[in-house]
Structure 1
Amino acid sequence: MRHIHIDNVEPGQFLGRTIFSGKGAILLSENVQLTVYMITTLKRIGVTMIYIKDPQFEDVEIADVVPEETKRAVMQRMGETFETIRSGKELNTRSINGSIDNLLEEIMKNKEVLVQLSDIRTEDNEMYVHAMNVCMMSVMVGIHMGLPMNQLRELAIGALLHDIGKIDALVDDESDDLRKHHTWRGFELLKNKRELSLLIAHVALQHHERIDGEGLPRRIPGEQIHLYAKITAVADRYDNLLFNLSTGRRMQPHEACEHIMALAGSQLDRDIVIHFLRTVSVYPTGASVRLSTRETAVVVGQHRGLPGRPVVRVIQSDWSERDLDVKEIDLAQHTTVFIDNVIV
């Protein structure tokens, strides 16, 4: 399959990855043949990039850290939890707790897989997919740092619920009253839950604090920010750089990684950034790239230790031709060949 911009999708092509609603329901299933109406609707609901099936790359599969069924279950539980808050009822985190155990089990099984954020975003599912991604990346960093399972579990719940304050009716991030900031509202929602560690509430409170003490809501210096919040801050920033439907700005993974590196030591914890960059795919599988050889290629494989040097399949002819001369280059072995840019 290939990862392409929605403007380049043509009627008759087949969807490569299932698209979910905000609460985990299926909007469009993998393998559905796309129509003009479907493509137009996807654009309308905010989709910018999708995966499509391609006979030339039918053997290319994306290795997921968390399978789709587990993601759906967690998103469904999150939807139920958030609806409870919106309706003014008491927050019950038991369903979230149960889903986290399954999520952690899957991540531990696939901890050597580089993270690729392959879920398709819509205006409806953005909050849920963002929370899932931040949770998944945070846990991967925690594993890389050697955190024990009890701490990984706290980190996972905190990262999953880091933006829970955004659904509070009193939230106003533009207000001068910092107690209306979504971080503070999230803390207020979580701090008195006996089934949750207070550290989980501090993830919601501190994930927008900065190492240099210029963050929100309390402008505390780096040594006062909890480790879980520092980890979540890196994952949150990265995901927002890649996908931000509200602003319309979107970076490619390699650009976002460079941006994250530039923030290390000032806004973000330097050691955590180093661990983070070892867990994410700089050039995701399915992405089209231009090589320093002036050839066009598609990323078809990854290296755990060298995320910036993937395996690419070079296309020698026009995409529309059927008799294509195809070759693969392992950039970890061919050190004089580089990726010049990603083709969107």
Structure 2
Amino acid sequence: MKLVDIETVEPGQILGRTIFSSNGAILLSVGVHLTVFMISTLKRIGVTTIYIDDPNFRDIPHQEVLSVETKRTVIYKMSEMFAQLRSGKTFSSRAIADTVDDLLEDVLRNQNNMIHLSDIRTADNAMFLHSMNVCMMASLIGLNMGLNMVQLKELAIGALLHDIGKIGAPEVQEGRMHHAWRGFDLLKNKREYSLLIAHVAFQHHEAVDGSGAPRGLKNEDIHLYAKITAVANIYDNLIYPQGDEEPLLPHEACERLNAYSGTLLDHEILVQFMRMVSTYPNGISVRLSNRETGVIVRQHRGLPGRPIVRAIDKDGNDAVSYSEIDLAQNPTLFIEAVLS
């Protein structure tokens, strides 16, 4: 499986990763043979890269933290909740709590899998996937920081609902109209939830140096759950930005996060996050410092910048062969550029 630019996809190629619609239904299933119409539709709805099934890379481990079924459930429940709020109704606290239970089961089962945000986003599903990914990443960070199950569930619900104040919010968000205030006001009245859950929505845009919003809180005044959610939120927004901003590749996003250490983000939480994130995810094409090109095929947990690369070798007759280079065993080699 390889990650490729949508502009290079040809009819007949096989989709390597399921694409979801805005209500959690499967838009295109893994294994489908792509047609001209499908490719055109993906371009029209804003898809820029997709995973393609490549017989030379079928053995690449596909290790997700969340299962396809859990993703479908989370996206469906989020779309249902947003629709209820837009129509002026309340939402079911129990339904969200049950959804988080399913998500946490996957997180606990797959806690050794590295973070790799790979789901294809469209204009319709972007907000739901953002909420799901922030929840998943925040839960993994909390787990690695030793939070107990009660704390993990509070954190996960807060992270899943961190942007709830954006529903129906005005374009200009100032003062009590800031979506953090709106989210806090919505969640603090949910008697089934701890007030700490509401504070995740309230504080996830605060910064440890006091430069954040909406209240300019400083490090010691920001709750741990909100600090954790802030790291996950900013990372996801760097990979999948809103508006006209250019998306960053995972290694570029990690560099940006490190630049925020001690200003926007808590240093110790960043350390935990960097231990879990896949800086160069499986399936992407890279060029090495020795000018060889290849595809990332496996990872070393704790050494995110030193994965295993399957290099593509061509002889004088253009015959193709492959050899694997373990960057952890070759300290003089490094990844010079990401090609997809």
TM-score, normalised by the number of residues in structure 1? 0.96
Structure 1 counterpart of 2:322, one-letter code: V
Alpha-carbon shift at residue 174 of structure 1 (Å): 2.4
Q: Which residue of the partner structure matches residue 172 of structure 1? A: 170
1:256 aligns with 2:253: yes
| 1:157 partner amino acid | I
One-letter amino acid of the structure 2 residue matched with residue 15 of structure 1: L
Residue type of the alignment partner of 2:336? D
SS of residue in 1 equivalent to 2:166: helix
Task: Point out where structure 1 has 5 or more consecutive residues left out of the alignment.
Answer: none
Q: Distance in 1 between matches of 2:269 and 2:170?
A: 30
**What's the CA shift string for 1:303-328, capped at 9, x where partnerless?**
1121111111000139xx6x421000
Query: Equivalent residues in 2 for 1:95-244 (5 A)?
Result: 95-167=95-167, 169=168, 171-172=169-170, 174-175=172-173, 177-244=174-241
Displacement of 1:173: 5.1
TM-superposed deviation, 1:185: 0.9
Q: CA deviation at 1:203?
A: 0.5
Task: Return the offset for 1:38.
Answer: 1.1
CA distance in 2, matches of 1:272, 1:193: 28
User: Is the counterpart of residue 327 in structure 1 residue 323 in structure 2?
Assistant: yes
Identity of aligned residues (%): 58
Q: What one-letter code is carried by the residue in structure 1 that aligns with 2:258?
A: M
Q: Deviations over 1:240-264 (max 9, x none)?
A: 0001242241000000000000000
**Would you say 1:2 and 2:5 are equivalent positions?**
no
**Distance (whole Å) between structure 2 residues aligned to residue 300 and residue 315 of structure 1:** 12
Does 2:265 match 1:265?
no
AA aligned opposite 2:67: P
| Paired residue type of 1:103 | L
Find the residue that maps to 1:202 and give its secondary structure: helix
User: What RMSD in Å do the two structures reach over aligned CA positions?
Assistant: 1.3
Count of aligned residue pairs for this structure pair: 338
Change (3 A) 1:103 1:332: same
Distance 2:198 2:252 in 1: 31
**How far apart are the structure 1 equivalents of 2:61 and 2:28?**
19
Other-structure match for 2:59: 59
- Other structure's SS at 1:211 match: coil
Q: Matched residue of 2:311: which SS?
A: strand
Q: How does 1:84-99 map to 2 (within 5 A)?
A: 84-99=84-99
Alpha-carbon distance in structure 1 between the residues aligned to 2:22 and 2:183: 20
Matches within 5 A, 1:278-297: 278-297=275-294
Structure 1 stretches of at least 4 aligned residues deviating more than 6 Å after TM superposition: none
For residues 209-246 of structure 1, give each alpha carbon's deviation from its aligned partner in whole angstroms, at most 9, with x where no partner exists: 11111111111111111100000001000000001242
* TM-score, normalising length: structure 2: 0.97
Residue equivalent to 2:339? 343
Contact conserved, 1:138 with 1:159, CA < 8 A, in 2? Answer: yes
Distance 2:199 2:244 in 1: 27
Q: Which amino acid aligns with 1:331?
A: L
> Is residue 81–residue 93 contact of structure 1 (8 Å, CA) maintained in 2?
no
Q: For residues 314 and 254 of structure 2, what CA distance do their matches in structure 1 show?
A: 31
Deviations 1:162-202, CA, capped at 9 Å, x for gaps: 011111x2x23524x41111111111111110111111111
Deviates more, 1:255-264 or 1:48-57: 48-57
Is the CA contact 1:173–1:181 (under 8 Å) kept in the aligned structure 2? Answer: no
Looking at structure 1, the residues matched to 120 and 242 of structure 2 have their Cα atoms a distance apart, in angstroms, of 12
Cα deviation per residue 1:256-277 (whole Å; 9 max; x = unaligned)? Answer: 0000000000111111111111
